[in-house]
Chain A
Amino acid sequence: MSIPSETVIEAERLSKRYKCGHLALDDVSLTVKKGECLGIAGESGSGKSTLARCLLAIESQDIGKIMRNGTMQAVFQNPSASLNPKLKVIDSLMEPLDGGKIAYPSFLSHFREDRRKTAEFLLKLVDIPGSYLDAYPHQLSGGQKQRISIARAISVEPSLIILDEPTSSLDVSVQANILNLLKDLQEDFGLSYLFISHDLAAVRFMSQRIAIMQRGKIVEHFASEELFSEERHPCTQQLIAVFES
């Protein structure tokens, strides 16, 4: 079954129950269109990360189907675990392109597959000096590691990047930098994001549409301007109250 070309991912009625009996996803449907950012907010344990894993095909849903258009990449919460501490930055950064299965995207094609120059260029996109290519992850700060994870994700010009709490383990000042960087990259490359966070302020900043999750369900789904509308679900209002306090 095919989906319209302007849709990058469409999930239909996903449900997943873990072996322990916990219902992590309960009839979740969503669509992300080309160039947009769909935000998913919810308290921890609401099934956001399980949803991300199902969409990335790392885990399989029990019921429902997912249709994808093109390649997917991800940036996860913990920048330290996202880079293999034993590998140099360049080897982690170039992993998607090193496989040889994905062609160098158009914005990298003028490097004529020069691995090092490509890596330097990718680092420049996320404001990290090229001299860090031979460094090991422990020599970098959390924010720098997360920038490298972002550079790695955009290196194949994916049709969708799933951002699973990409700023949650960073300092507040660094969080803002990373969010701005993500937004700039989205504009420059026309990227589509699925932005998952428990931080409603970050979700609102990044997204055009917001879905709120609670106990594995999407309880509400609205345009990001309508966040403060009177009709919001109590769960949403609770999340608003958290970040206003």
Chain B
Amino acid sequence: MNQFLLRHPKSIIGLLVVSFVLMIVSVSYIAPYDPNHVTMKERLLPISSEHWLGTDHLGRDIFSRILVGARTTVGTSLLILMCSLLIGIPIGLFSGYIGGRFDRVLMKIVDAFMAFPDYIFAIVLSGLLGPGMFNLIFAIVIVKWVGYTRLVRSTVITEKHKEYVLLAKINGLRSFQILKKHMIPHIMGNVLVLATLDLGKIILMIAALSYIGLGAQPPTAEWGSMLNEGKAFFYNAPLLMVIPGLAIMLFVLMSNLLGDYLRDKFDVKSKKVGI
């Protein structure tokens, strides 16, 4: 175990932050104060033993809002990621494996999606659809699924002509079985690495859209909208922006470290197996 810690210091940081965030998500149900309870007498309080991270411009406890906001932000980003994977992976698998005209038509669609810068596309989409969490999720999924389709398709195309796939066909495996047995192990490593790295980007995107008022609506506690609300008080109470900013930063850092860790883990060649 000690050797493992020494060999993968980064991964330990990543895992620690995961447990930290998991803790936040579970603790959000027992936050010390009601995150939406307005107490005008207690507005903009500094850090104290009563309010660990102070209070905001409406006297709401920032610590409670960060905890509850984690549920909104992290939960939403995981939901977006799951939807992108569920759309992107099957389309990539079939497009790459079937090939031909089917593949060409699909890739034209993917290229069309990719032609737009993803932030602008998401902003335009959620702007057109109107503010709100559901539209924000929809807009980000539309932007994100194409990356997985591309990644999966290119892996499938390089692998599908190799002899082991021919042998699987000779042995009577159906296309679906070949995809499941031979292609999925090939794509899972790359997909998971991309997904964990994407998790950070998705959080940033949610926060950015909420910051400009397109995502979570007040009084919902969400890190991006907390930044947005805090910006008017930045000179008097910088904590209002610093705390949610730090929360976002830590989460993005965690997802990047986790991505590195998974990349090492899924590289079979680095695995030691006793012979």
Cβ-based interface call for A193 (8 A)? no
Contact of A92 with B273 at beta-carbon distance under 8 Å, contacts A58-B169, A87-B185 already known: no
Q: Which residues does chain A contribute within 8 Å of B269, judged by CB atoms?
A: 136, 138
Q: Pick the contact of B271 from A57, A78, A101, A136 — CB < 8 Å?
A: A136
Whether a CB of chain B sits under 8 angstroms from the CB of A173 is: no
B164 touches A74 (CB 8 A): no
Convert B177-210 into 0s and 1s, putting 1 for each residue whose CB lies closer than 8 angstroms to a CB of A.
0000110011000000000000000000000000
The answer to whether A58 touches B170, judged by C-beta atoms less than 8 angstroms apart, is yes
A138 in contact with B166 (CB, 8 Å): no
Complex Cα distance, B265 from A236, in Å, reads 53
B273 and A95 within 8 A (CB): no
B184 to chain A, nearest CB (A): 9
- Whether B172 and A101, one on each chain, are in contact in the complex, defined by CB atoms closer than 8 angstroms, is yes
Per-position binary interface string of chain A over residues 78-122, scored 1 when its CB falls under 8 Å from any chain B CB and 0 otherwise? 100111111100011001100101100000000000000000000
**A46 interface residue, CB < 8 Å from B?**
no
Q: Are B164 and A72 touching (Cβ within 8 A)?
A: no
Asked if A240 lies at the interface with its beta carbon under 8 angstroms from chain B, I say no
B106 at the binding interface (Cβ < 8 Å): no
Contacts of B58 in A (CB 8 A): none
| A135 close to B (CB within 8 Å) | yes
Bitwise interface map of A from 113 to 144 toward B, beta carbon under 8 Å scored 1, else 0: 00000000000000001011011101100000
- Chain A residue at minimum C-beta to C-beta distance from B171: A96
**CA of A73 to CA of B271 in the docked complex: distance in angstroms?**
31
CB neighbours of B50 from chain A (8 A): none
Question: Which residue of B is nearest A78, CB measured?
Answer: B163
Interface contact A74-B173, CB-CB below 8 Å: no
Task: Report A-chain residues with C-beta under 8 Å of the C-beta of B108.
Answer: none
Residue of B166, B182, B268, B274 near A76 (CB, 8 A) is B166
Do B170 and A139 touch (CB < 8 A)? no
CB within 8 Å for A74 and B170 given contacts A87-B185, A92-B164: yes
Asked whether any CB of chain A lies closer than 8 Å to the CB of B41, the reply is no
B18 CB to nearest chain A CB (Å)? 25
Enumerate A197-226 residues with CB–CB distance to B below 8 Å: none
Q: Which residues of B contact A179 (CB under 8 A)?
A: none
Q: Is A56 an interface residue (CB 8 A)?
A: yes
Q: Which residues of B contact A91 (CB under 8 A)?
A: 181
Roughly how many angstroms separate A87 CA and B186 CA in the complex, as a whole number? 9
Nearest opposing residue in chain A for B266, CB measure: A86
> By the criterion CB–CB under 8 Å, are B166 and A58 in contact?
yes
Residues of A close to B186: CB separation below 8 A: 84, 86
Partner-B contacts on A (CB < 8 A): 56-58, 72-74, 76-78, 81-87, 91-92, 95-96, 99, 101-102, 129, 131-132, 134-136, 138-139, 152
Given contact pairs A81-B163, A84-B164, A139-B275, a sample of 13 additional A-B residue pairs in the complex whose CB atoms are under 8 Å apart:
A56-B166, A58-B169, A81-B162, A82-B164, A84-B186, A86-B268, A87-B182, A96-B171, A132-B275, A134-B273, A135-B275, A136-B269, A136-B271
A-B pairs, top 9 by smallest CB distance, nearest first, are A86-B185, A76-B163, A81-B162, A81-B163, A82-B163, A96-B171, A84-B164, A136-B268, A84-B182
